[in-house]
Amino acid sequence: MTSAGSALIQPVAGVKNVHNHLQVVLADADYRDDAWLTATANNALTQDVTVPDGVEATASDGNLTLTGLVELGRQREAAERAVAGLPGVRNVRDEIEIATDADPADVTELVQDALDRTAIVEDDSDVHVDASGNTVTLGGHVRTWAEHDAVVGATWMAPGVAQIRDDLDVTG
């Protein structure tokens, strides 16, 4: 799960990567039982138009597990965002699978096409894409965290991407 703390740290000059090992401890007043949290999370998923049908949540002691099948990584991220801020959520474990009709050999080209459509990344950028099956490794340099997020976002939009390994350096 992406945390607000990571988002606050990223803009700091010199920060190239954030490893978040924080644990959420709920106050007694914030605790919700599993049945309530499961129902509330599933309602949130259903109400979010960017989350496809079939994505479901189950709760165990404040820990949500998301399951189901989506076509794009952005849909998986949308499911996480839909439930992450609910009262009583300590952690979100994403077990959503990404279905793909893309040939793994075409994934690099599809990602590069998606990056080429991203106006925020300069034409002379040294960002490079390497695909192994449906796992894409991003490397090279970007100037800002906004560029970083645009590259990662464009990569998730490419058909066939099931996992991203982010080796981008933010040179800021």
Q: What angle do CA 17, 20, 21 make, to 5 degrees?
A: 145
> Looking at residue 2, what is its pLDDT?
43
Kindly state the average pLDDT of the residues 31-52.
94
- pLDDT, one tens digit per residue, over 50-59 is 999 999 999 9
CA 36 to CA 57: how far, in whole Å? 11
- pLDDT, one tens digit per residue, over 148-162 is 888 888 888 777 788
CATH architecture of 4-98: 2-Layer Sandwich (3.30)
> Looking at residue 132, what is its pLDDT?
80
CATH number for the domain whose boundaries are 104-170: 3.30.1340.30
Kindly state the average pLDDT of the residues 63-68.
95
> Looking at residue 156, what is its pLDDT?
82
Q: Please give the model's pTM, rounded to 2 decimal places.
A: 0.62
Helices (H) and strands (E) in the chain, counts: 5, 8
Q: Where, residue-wise, is CATH 3.30.1340.30 in the chain?
A: 4-98, 104-170
